[in-house]
Amino acid sequence: MDFAYLILAAALIVAAAIVAFALRRPQAPEPPRPDPRLDDVIRGQGSIAGQFQQTLDSQTRLQTMLAERIEALDKRLGESLTDSATKTAQTVAGIGERLSIIDAAQKNIASLSTQVVALQDILSDKQQRGAFGQERMEAIIADQLAPPLYEFQHTLSNGSRPDCIIRVPNVQAVVVVDSKFPLEAFEAMRGTGEDERKALSARLRADVLKHVGDIASKYLIPGETQSPALMFVPSESIYAELHANFADLIQRARQQNVVIVSPHILMLAVNTIQALTRDAKMREQAHQIQNEVVLLLKDVNLLAERVEALRTHFERTSKDIGEIEKPMGRITSRAARIEQADLALPEPAPSVSKPS
């Protein structure tokens, strides 16, 4: 028991020592109190961060707006460039077409100058000039008349050969057309003095009278050719000069049964002959048309007679059919009565047996 008390006392002593030791340990220092200025700084930083975020948002929106406007500007610029390129291409194409037209016009001018030089060469040569006048006359006649109505280089009974003859319907004699081109004296009269002009006028008068005399002596044959003959001058200016300043020459030509004509006058004469030909053909065909009309009337009368006979035949046939229908009706009614009649045999009477 005493030993137990000793142990308990020792335990109490130890516990007291422990408590004393614990009481002797130093206490932890209190945490420092926060500085209110630091809170202000933190709050200021938060406000700055919010403003900075707003600034970033504004910058983002500004960048988006700038990007959209730049894109729209690029689009308008692209459309403008495309439109400008299209218009430029059209302008270039138009310039190319105009250059092509100018080039073609230059070629035509060059060709025309070549043709003018060739025409000058033709007119300067007397033989080629005559062939040119003859070709122009032939073109006018061949364009207006049918081939049977004209003939080039026809030989007359006296052996002469005019440039062309024209046949008029219902007239045995033909119209003679011969081409002459008195150009040398006419060209020489241009730009000359009064004395030289008189001399050249006398030369032109002599040339025309020689042509008129040749036509009258060679081509006017009684009964074979008509009067007057036509002298074709393939130049309207020469024809106008002759009528304006050489009226006596025109009169002398008519006295010899020769009429001087220009391309337009020849065309009118050919058109008149063409109209006469058309009228003559219509008159020729008038009797044939009349005969055909008479034959047509005969055929119409014959057709009317046959139609009348056919109508009579139809009437007779209709009457015969009516007569046939009468006995057929009677036969039909009798057959109906026969069909309705009672044709059954009477039944035999029953036999009666006698008593035995």
Render each residue's pLDDT in the chain as its tens digit; 356 residues: 555 555 666 666 766 666 665 555 555 455 556 556 666 666 666 677 677 677 777 778 877 887 888 888 878 878 887 887 788 888 888 887 887 888 777 777 755 555 444 444 444 455 565 677 788 888 888 888 888 888 998 899 999 999 899 988 778 889 999 888 776 767 666 656 667 777 777 888 888 888 899 999 999 999 899 888 999 888 888 888 888 888 888 888 899 999 988 889 888 888 888 887 777 677 767 777 778 888 888 888 888 888 888 888 878 887 778 778 777 777 777 777 777 765 555 555 555 555 44
| Token duo for residue 238 | 């020469």
Q: What local confidence, expressed as pLDDT, does residue 119 receive?
A: 41
d(CA 333, CA 355): 54
| Token duo for residue 33 | 């109190």
Q: What local confidence, expressed as pLDDT, does residue 117 receive?
A: 42
d(CA 64, CA 67): 5
Residue 171 DSSP symbol: -
Q: What local confidence, expressed as pLDDT, does residue 287 receive?
A: 73
CB atoms within 10 A of CB 249: 19
Torsion sign (Cα): 231, 232, 237, 238: negative
Looking at the DSSP assignment, which residues form a beta bridge with residue 229? 258
Contact by Cβ (8 Å): 136, 234: yes
Rounded to two decimals, the pTM is 0.46
Q: Which of 189, 161, 157 is nearest to 176 (CA)?
A: 161
Cβ neighbours of residue 33 closer than 8 Å, sequence gap 6 or more: none
d(CA 329, CA 322): 11
Q: Which of 177, 189, 334, 347 is nearest to 258 (CA)?
A: 177
Indicate the pairing of strand 229-232 with strand 174-179: parallel
Q: What local confidence, expressed as pLDDT, does residue 36 receive?
A: 61
Q: Which of 241, 239, 240, 221 is nearest to 229 (CA)?
A: 221
Contact by Cβ (8 Å): 176, 225: yes
Amino acid at 14: V
Structural domain spans, the chain = 46-124, 126-279
d(CA 94, CA 82): 18
Q: What local confidence, expressed as pLDDT, does residue 112 receive?
A: 56
Helices marked H in the chain: 2-24, 36-124, 126-144, 184-188, 194-219, 236-245, 247-255, 263-340
CB atoms within 10 A of CB 203: 16
